[in-house]
Structures are given as C-alpha cells and as structure tokens.
Structure 1
Amino acid sequence: MWRTLIVEDEQYARASLRKLFAKADIPFEIVGEAVNGEEGLQLIRALQPDVVISDIFMPLMDGVRLLQLTRKEGLECRFVMLTAVSEFEYARQALEYGASGYLMKLSLDLKELKQTMDKVAGELTRMDKLRLADKWFPDKTAQEPTDHPELNRLITYIEEHFAEEVTLKRLAEYVRMDASYVSDLFKKKMGITMTHFIQNRRVQAAKMLLTETEKTVSEIGRLVGFENDNYFIKIFKRWSGLTPNEYRKEQKIVL
C-alpha cells in the first residue's frame, strides 16, 4: 500500500476524502492529516509519505509553497492538488513544479479519484523500479563480465531493466543479432540460460525488498517483474529454497 498524507484545512473535505479512499479499492492508505502547509511539511518529514494530497489555499502556507519546499529538501513524494475552479491557475502552476495531477474539490467523485490515483500509482511503481536498479547495480564502470562486447551490452540492459518485461526477442533486437545465436552465446559465456539469469536478478532484488521494506509479497513481486503472485513465489522458492514469507521471517530472526 502506498502511504498517503492529506493536507487540507477544511474538516469536511478531509472526511470526504477518507470516505472516497475507503470505497475506491486503490492501493493507498491514509497515514496522516494536516490542517495547513506548515504542519503538512512537518508530517512529510516525519512520515515520509509516498503521496501528498494537498489543498492549494490554506492558512500559514499554501499547497504550491508546500510542494516547492518539499522538492527543495529533496523529498520525492508525489503531489496531487485539491482545487476549485477559480484556483485552476494555481493548480497549473503546481503541475509545473512536478505535481502529478489535481482533483476538483466540489465535483470530486469515485471515478475521478481512481483515475488520478491510478496514474500516481504508476509513477510510484516506476520510481521504485528505478531505485531498485540503482541499489543493486550502482557501479556501471565495473569490469566487463565477458570478452564479448555485445553480450556485455545485453547484460547491462538486463541489469537496468530486469523489473520490466524482458524477452529474448527484445534483447536480440537490442543488439541486432539472431535470437537463437544470442541465446546460445549467453549460455556459453555465462554458464546459465538468459531466462535463469533474469529470474535470479529478480529474486535477488526481491530479497532486498523483503528484508528492508514492509511491502507485501504481491507488491514486491510486481516491483521486480512478476505479474503473477503464484509464479513469483514458485520462482523465488526455486532460487532460495524458501517462500518469500519464509525468507522474510528468517531474515528478521537473523537481524
């Protein structure tokens, strides 16, 4: 679940948002509320939410200024602005500072909320995948793994995109080589099939997420490239000898 902070000075608006979130069946949970921008900034620092839903006009600090200061401090949470028709110019300004979107306060309904938050979920997932790749493969200047330059390009591509759909056809097209030749070359030089290499990369990344985050097994599976929960559990156990939940429990005992 993505952690969500509401920053809104009107109590009825906060209550309305909570009700819509409860009905919307979206992967977001409200972890806090603030009644003005200054309090919102303090809670962003303390709670580290994934997304902030902020009104534009509020006492002490408006929503656009809150977004500016958050970005200035290097905090990466996404922003969705609450706006009225008369405030649309301010909403446009917020988009220029990196807000993911806006919600019209007076006409907000379930459909609009779901559409906007689905977009935010997509952005957060892409951000997580980029951080994941950077964490596991931070050193792109390391010694090349093989003596074949095109194969090394493939390996680098896999390391940067393993959480996406990576197929033999796509990889072969990437280096402009025959797919069968690429498959045989990979196995010969690496001592492992390309499919198993990708699976292993995904499982190693999943281990990190299981150890260092509280994300669910389903969320982690999707983040590292598995769309099907059962398949993720099967492949994880094949490479580690444990299910994801068993691995997480074992790591907590060790730590």
Structure 2
Amino acid sequence: MWRTLIVEDEQHARASLRKLFAKADIPFEIVGEAADGEEGLRMIRELQPDVVISDIFMPVMDGVRLLQLAREEGLECRFVMLTAVSEFEYARQAVEYGASGYLMKLSLDLAGLRQAMEKVAAELARMEKLRKADKWFPEKTAQEPTDHPEMNRIIAYIEEHFAEDITLKSLADLIRMDASYVSDLFKKKTGSTLTHYIQNRRVAAAKMLLAETERTVSDIGRTVGFENDNYFIKIFKRWCGVTPNEYRKEQKFVL
C-alpha cells in the first residue's frame, strides 16, 4: 500500500476523499491529514508519504507553494492537486512543477479517482524499481562541480532524477531562471549541452545494468529514463559505438 497524505482545509472535503479512497479499491492508504500547506509540509517531513493529495487554495500556504517547497527540499513524494474549475490555471502550473495530475473537486467520483491514482501508482512502482536497481548505478558522474551554484544544483538534481522526465523548462523553473539562459550557461560551465549531459548519465547507468544484471534491454532502457526502445538503442550506440546487446556480450567476454 502506498502511503497517502491529504492536505485540504475543508473538513468535509477530507471526509469525502477518505470515503472515496475506501471504496475505490486502490493500493493507497491514508496515513495523515493536514488543514493547510504549512502543516502539510511538516507532515510530509515527518510521515514521508508516497503521495500527497493537496488542495490548491488554502490558508497559510497554498498547494502550489507546498509542492515547490517539497521539491526544493528534495522530497520525492508524488503530488496530485485538488482544484475547482476556476483554479484550472493553477493546476496546470502545479503540473509544470512536477505534480502527477489533478482532480476536479466538484465532479470527483470513483472512476476519476481510480484513473488518476492508477497513474500515480505506476509512477511510484517505477521509482521503487529504480531504487532497487540503484546499487548497479554509478555512485556519481565524472562531472566535477562548477563555479556556479545554480548549475551545481542542476547537476545534483539530474544525478538524483535522471531516470525521470527532465526538461529544460523544469530545470529552469527549479532555479527560477530563464530557460534559454540556463541552456547557454550550463554548456559554458560544463562543456556539454543539457540534452547530452542527461543522455550520458542515463547511458552510464544502462551500461552498469547491462553488465551486472540479466534484465532485458527494454526494461533497462525504461529504468534509466528512455521510454522508447528504439530511441534507447540509438542513443546508446551513439555514445558507446555498439548496441546495448553488443555491449552486454562484450562485457561477458571480458569477464
């Protein structure tokens, strides 16, 4: 069961969510409730939930700010935002900051809840699979820290999240800088484009898995962040000069 925290200032809304979760037959267990974002952040730190169901508009601290602070602290829980029709733009903004999705408060039913939470469950399962495989990943890349703290922050973020969907915009939002400026500055400070840097990190992880496990090429590609098998093979060959299967055979021959 995935541990779930509800952050919602309206008590009746929290009660409705509890009932829906109980009826939905989904692998999520509600482990706590908070009435505003500030309390929610404290409970995230304390309870370490797998997923947070958060309203957007709340007193003290809103849901989007809660999501931002959680990400800045490196808290990896998934977020699903609760929103009314008039708040849709805020929900879209939350998705840009990494929320897994949103639920429409006024029309939420069992089918809608199941659909949204099945997506979250798939994300959590993938993250868990990745954590179990971490022992095969290089502990760190060869990239030395730069003389620019924000670029170092991006490098650290990529190191922790390279297997996830990372975009230039999401990284620019992370450090609150213009995307084009971030792209140019990153290349200047590291000698590599962001795209090539992320690809190289994924390929390095894939090489370890190919050499040390019997997992399929397709499974390894998805684990390190490539959603498409053909693209994984193409990028791997571009960096290594051989396909993943050829690389695996070479490593077995060496051993």
Q: Same fold (TM over 0.5)?
A: yes
Which residue of structure 1 lines up, in the alignment, with residue 112 of structure 2? 112
Q: Which segment drifts farther, 156-165 or 69-78?
A: 156-165
Distance 1:44 1:160 in 2: 34
**Aligned-pair distance for 1:123?**
1.1
Which residue is 2:71 aligned to? 71
Aligned to 2:59: 59
3-state DSSP of counterpart to 1:59: coil
The letter of the residue matching 1:47 is L
Q: Are 2:203 and 1:156 aligned?
A: no
Q: Mind listing any 5+ residue stretches in structure 1 that lack a counterpart?
A: 142-152, 191-255
Structure 1 residue aligned with 2:128: 128
Aligned residues: CA RMSD: 3.6
Report the residue type matching 1:64 in the other structure: V
Say which one has the larger Rg.
1
Does the Cα contact within 8 Å between 1:133 and 1:161 map onto a contact in 2?
no
| Structure 2 counterpart of 1:90, one-letter code | Y
- Partners of 1:65 and 1:80 lie apart in 2 by 13
Match of 2:10 in 1: 10
Equivalent position amino acid for 2:9 in 1: D
Q: Deviations over 1:131-169 (max 9, x none)?
A: 22223443489xxxxxxxxxxx99634348838747xxx
Q: Distance in 1 between matches of 2:66 and 2:30?
A: 18
Normalised TM-score (structure 2): 0.59
Counterpart of 2:39 in structure 1 is: 39
The amino acid across from 1:10 in the alignment is E
5 Å-filtered alignment, 1:1-255, equals 1-139=1-139, 156-158=208-210, 159=212, 162=215, 165=219, 175=242
d(CA) in 1 for partners of 2:42, 2:245: 56
Amino acid of the residue matched to residue 18 of structure 1? R
SS of the residue corresponding to residue 127 of structure 1 reads helix
Alignment CA distance shift 1:187-1:38 (3 Å): closer
Q: Secondary structure at the match of 1:76?
A: coil
Query: Matched residue pairs, number?
Result: 178
CA change 1:32–1:161 in 2 (3 A) is: farther
Give me the whole-angstrom Cα distance separating, in 1, the residues matched to 2:243 and 2:63.
49
> Are residues 178 and 57 of structure 1, via their aligned partners in 2, closer, same or farther at CA, if it must alter by over 3 Å?
closer
Question: Structure 1's 134 and 94: CA in aligned 2 closer, same or farther, altered over 3 A?
Answer: same
8 Å Cα contact 2:8-2:58 kept in structure 1: yes
Aligned-pair CA distance for 1:30: 0.5
SS of the equivalent of 2:60 reads coil
Question: Does the C-alpha gap of structure 1 residues 20 and 138 become closer, same or farther in structure 2, counting only changes over 3 Å?
Answer: same
Q: CA deviation at 1:31?
A: 0.4
CA distance in 2, matches of 1:126, 1:116: 16
Give the conservation status (yes or no) of the 8 Å contact 1:133–1:160: no
Query: How far did 1:127 drift?
Result: 1.6
Deviates more, 1:83-92 or 1:155-164: 155-164
Change in Cα spacing, 1:47 to 1:139, as seen in structure 2 (3 Å) is closer
Aligned equivalents of 1:177, 1:114: Cα separation in 2: 37
- Return the letter of the residue paired with 2:117: M
**Distance of aligned partners of 1:155 and 1:16 in 2 relative to their CA distance in 1, 3 Å threshold:** same
Gap change, CA 1:176 and 1:101, over 3 Å in 2: closer
